[in-house]
Chains A and B, each alone.
Chain A
Amino acid sequence: EAGVTQFPSHSVIEKGQTVTLRCDPISGHDNLYWYRRVMGKEIKFLLHFVKESKQDESGMPNNRFLAERTGGTYSTLKVQPAELEDSGVYFCASSRLAGAYNEQFFGPGTRLTVL
């Protein structure tokens, strides 16, 4: 079974530019999560999809971030326009269930650097 994949693995952009990150969850996993780790800090929750619907987007930092999951398969996270403080590693995770004991499987992350 293929794991969670993310693309690209690295992205370097200039402040003000737009970047789109992609996440392909494990096949059959309805739940998809985005997280971010800023250097020196802990991983923090951004949002949670159940199929194509946003279940919880309370962790999104501001309206420069837009996440979509059209069709309930892969998801994209767009940052527009990017700011310096957006630099970090963006992780995607998926799970079959959304209960308290569900295991989330993480992708390798996309390292975003905003110059």
Chain B
Amino acid sequence: KNQVEQSPQSLIILEGKNCTLQCNYTVSPFSNLRWYKQDTGRGPVSLTIMTFSENTKSNGRYTATLDADTKQSSLHITASQLSDSASYICVVSIRGNNRLAFGKGNQVVVIP
């Protein structure tokens, strides 16, 4: 069983609308949680990174939240644009060996 689960697997949203992506993890011991954006044919690009003590972090129209107690994170996209169409991957860093555990990603399609 994967240690990082994301939902929904995919979604379609209208340009200008907001959406929220979910990530639940069981990775332990936890070091930090990252959200990556992966455009088709490209490698993942880091959006945010949060440590245990951080509850929220923003990067432009992207806002990530973290609840380390319930082991849940979310990524909120505000006023979506066509360029937001991509896969959003939740990644948890394991404390100690610094290995990264990846989710399968949320596939977002923004339509005009």
By a beta-carbon cutoff of 8 Å, the part of chain A in contact with chain B is 4, 40-45, 56, 91, 93, 98-109
Contact = CB atoms under 8 A, between A and B. Distances in A.
Contacts of B51: 101
A104 B95 CA distance: 16
Given A100-B31, A100-B95, A101-B32, A42 B2 contact: yes
B46 interface: yes
Q: How large is the interface on B (under 10, 10 to 19, 20 to 34, 35 or more residues)?
A: 20 to 34
Interface of B: 2, 4, 31-32, 36, 41-46, 49, 51, 89, 93, 95, 97-100, 102-105
A108 B49 contact: no
Contact of B98 (A40, A44, A98, A109): A98
Given A56-B97, A101-B31, 14 more contacts: A42-B102, A43-B44, A45-B99, A91-B43, A91-B44, A93-B43, A100-B31, A100-B98, A101-B32, A103-B49, A104-B100, A106-B44, A107-B43, A108-B43
Contacts of A109: 42-43
Nearest to B38: A106
Contacts of B102: 42-44
